[in-house]
Amino acid sequence: MSRPPKILVFDSGLGGLTVFAEIAALRPDAQFVYAADEAGFPYGALPATALAPRVLAVMGRLIDLFSPDVAVIACNTASTLVLPHLRAAFPDLPFVGTVPAIKPAAQTSQSKMISVLATPGTVARDYTRGLIEAYAADCKVMLVGSSRLASLAEDFMQGDAPSDAAILDEIAPAFVEAEGRRTDAIALACTHYPLLIAQFERLAPWPVAWIDPAPAIARRTDHVLTAELGFAAGGGETARKPALAVFTGSKEAGPKLREALRLRGIAKIALEPMPLVFA
Ligand code: DGL
């Protein structure tokens, strides 16, 4: 295939930008649409019965509008629940998901005490428990569900810096000491969290390895494009094309957010309002 690929990166909000940045670095030739379901945010608070139809509806609209070659679900809360439904509903479109980085956290850990920092939705999923059984059976795993961190990361991107105390309250339960051992690896199992990594590192009670799955998701996306869809390799000196951001809310982005997006190569923002309606 000689044309550049079109990649749709989707999240409930701005967290997926951490994944978008890695994919954009690997595929500077691609045309990107970054979609944030701001009207449905936060996904971590939605019951599974509401989240699945919501993601299917929003993705259906986005796929109709943009006809991507590949869709990246840059959201653990959605991926751990909705990926099979998306693949069944859109069988011709490859999906790349984002699931808690429990395997690399277990492999990285020396103390065999790891934590999974995620939304309440993700920590409650059978899928997450399955990953622990499959890949971290030799570890003591602390599941930490935070109901506030994703919103604090959104505020941070809008230029409203969260207090150290608010962040520390959310991350502290991930640091465990027992029987002379302590947590040494924490999976960032919500794509919003790497947006706050500088604060996490500064406030951590002791140094740990913070595991961000974004580079692995970027490699997987590139593999789908080249090995499965036949696109040419996309590295090299190609100048990046400006990307488009689409928000499902009705609020215009403020100046701080526009600047944060511009710095990430997103030059245009479109609103595609899709209010969240509960049946
Ligand atoms: N970014 C999403 C994730 O990776 C969660 C944020 C939310 O609660 O909407 O899980």
Atom of ligand 1 nearest to the CA of 40: 9
**175 with 156, same domain?**
yes
- Using most ligand atoms within 8 A of CB, pick from 191, 196, 276 the residue to mutate for ligand 1: 191
Q: What is the mean pLDDT of the chain?
A: 96
Whether 238 has a pLDDT exceeding 90, the answer reads no
Catalytic residue among 190, 214, 243, 253: 190
pTM of the predicted model, to two decimals?
Answer: 0.97
132-183 confidence digits (pLDDT tens): 999 999 999 999 999 999 999 999 999 999 999 999 999 999 999 999 999 9
> Nearest to residue 261, comparing CAs of 26, 34, 28?
34
| Residue 68 within any structural domain of the chain | yes
> Nearest to residue 10, comparing CAs of 91, 85, 80, 98?
98
% the chain with pLDDT above 90: 93
**185 with 198, same domain?**
yes
In order of 13, 40, 59, 192, 253, the CA distances from 199 in angstroms are: 20, 26, 32, 13, 24
Give dist(CA 279, CA 267) in Å, integer: 36
Mean pLDDT (whole number) for 76-98:
98
**198 with 106, same domain?**
yes
Q: Mark the binding-site residues for substrate, compressed into ranges.
A: 11-12, 43-44, 76-77, 191-192
**173 with 249, same domain?**
no
pLDDT band at residue 7, thresholds of 50, 70 and 90?
very high
Catalytic residue among 21, 24, 72, 75: 75
Whether 236 has a pLDDT exceeding 70, the answer reads no
Q: Which domain holds residue 196?
A: 102-211
**207 with 241, same domain?**
no
**139 with 163, same domain?**
yes
Among 149-163, 172-186, 201-215, 223-237, the least confident range: 223-237
Residue 196 is part of a domain; what is its CATH number? 3.40.50.1860
Name the domain count of the chain: 2
In order of 54, 83, 232, the CA distances from 226 in angstroms are: 30, 21, 6
Is the shortest distance between the CB of 77 and ligand 1 below 6 Å? yes
Q: 2 CA to middle of ligand 1, Å? A: 35
Q: Is 190 a catalytic residue?
A: yes
Is the shortest distance between the CB of 190 and ligand 1 below 6 Å? yes
Q: Which of 182, 211, 240 is the last residue of a domain?
A: 211
**206 with 218, same domain?**
no
Q: 3 CA to middle of ligand 1, Å? A: 32
Residue 1, Cα to own-chain centre: how many angstroms?
28
Q: Which of 189, 211, 233 is the last residue of a domain?
A: 211
**82 with 12, same domain?**
yes
Whether 277 has a pLDDT exceeding 80, the answer reads yes
| Residue 277 within any structural domain of the chain | no
**66 with 158, same domain?**
no
35-69 confidence digits (pLDDT tens): 999 999 999 999 999 999 999 999 999 999 999 99
**245 with 181, same domain?**
no
| Residue 161 within any structural domain of the chain | yes
**108 with 27, same domain?**
no
**60 with 27, same domain?**
yes
